[in-house]
Amino acid sequence: MNAIDEITDSFSRLPGIGKKSAGRIAAFLLKADPAFMQRFANQIASLQERIHPCSICGAWTEADPCPICQDAGRDRTTICVVEQPQDVTIIDSCHDYKGLFHVLGGVIAPLEGVSPDSLRIKELLERVEKEQIQEVILAMNPNVEGDTTALYIQSLLKSNPCKVTRLASGLPVGGDLEYIDRLTLARSFMGRSGF
């Protein structure tokens, strides 16, 4: 294998990139500006070192706590619960939501060996209690695992006086937060409903 084959093989392992696209990226890089190449290489090499999960909400961050958890201007009585750190970025960029976040790190999926204990559910309950949260918005993806997880968390919060809501069903069923346009996301926030 030469260097082009090797890097093509590496790119083809990235999500959403097939062999053909991987070859095109390799060809692009071969002719790219050396300064860009250096910066890009450094970014990849230092990514895992620079980014860590926030010790409070679990979002990806360089500073701990993350800028959202540190932001005094946010509504600190509302927590939006999401599956993955990248969901925080998506929801935060739609600007209609000004509260806090909590990343679960996945959804309950017994067949894949994901039990409630392996998610950050205990941490969520502690935050709701300690930070006197008034509304918990469950923003899991609208599929079987997401619904199961939402119902499970809702049952755990029954004894807490906080309001528990789920994003409105304007979200496409079986869809993924990552692929929802901002308008749909904003509408689903406005139309969120209680259990």
Stretch that binds Zn ion, among 41-49, 57-65, 149-157, 187-195 (CB under 5 A): 57-65
Stretch that binds Zn ion, among 24-32, 54-62, 115-123, 133-141 (CB under 5 A): 54-62
Sign, CA torsion 97/126/64/108: negative
Q: Which of 56, 79, 150, 153 binds Zn ion (CB under 5 A)?
A: 56
Please give the sequence-ordered ranges of beta strands (E in DSSP) within 22-99, or none if there are none. 52-53, 60-61, 78-82
Q: Which of 57, 79, 81, 185 binds Zn ion (CB under 5 A)?
A: 57
Q: Which of 22, 25, 66, 164 binds Zn ion (CB under 5 A)?
A: 66
Residue 88 touching Zn ion (CB under 5 A): no
Stretch that binds Zn ion, among 5-13, 66-74, 130-138, 179-187 (CB under 5 A): 66-74
Closest CB 155 distance from Zn ion, rounded Å: 26
CA distance 151 to 127: 19
Residue 91 touching Zn ion (CB under 5 A): no
Among the listed residues 135, 123, 148, 146, the one whose alpha carbon sits nearest the alpha carbon of residue 58 = 123
CA distance 141 to 174: 7
Token pair, residue 112, equals 């894949």
Residue 180 touching Zn ion (CB under 5 A): no
Q: Which of 26, 69, 91, 157 binds Zn ion (CB under 5 A)?
A: 69
Residue 103 touching Zn ion (CB under 5 A): no
Residue 54 touching Zn ion (CB under 5 A): yes
Residue 81's φ and ψ, nearest 5 degrees, are -95, 125
* C-beta separation of 177 from 82 below 8 A: yes
Among the listed residues 132, 71, 62, the one whose alpha carbon sits nearest the alpha carbon of residue 100 = 71
Per CB under 5 A, residues contacting Zn ion are 54, 56-57, 59, 65-66, 69
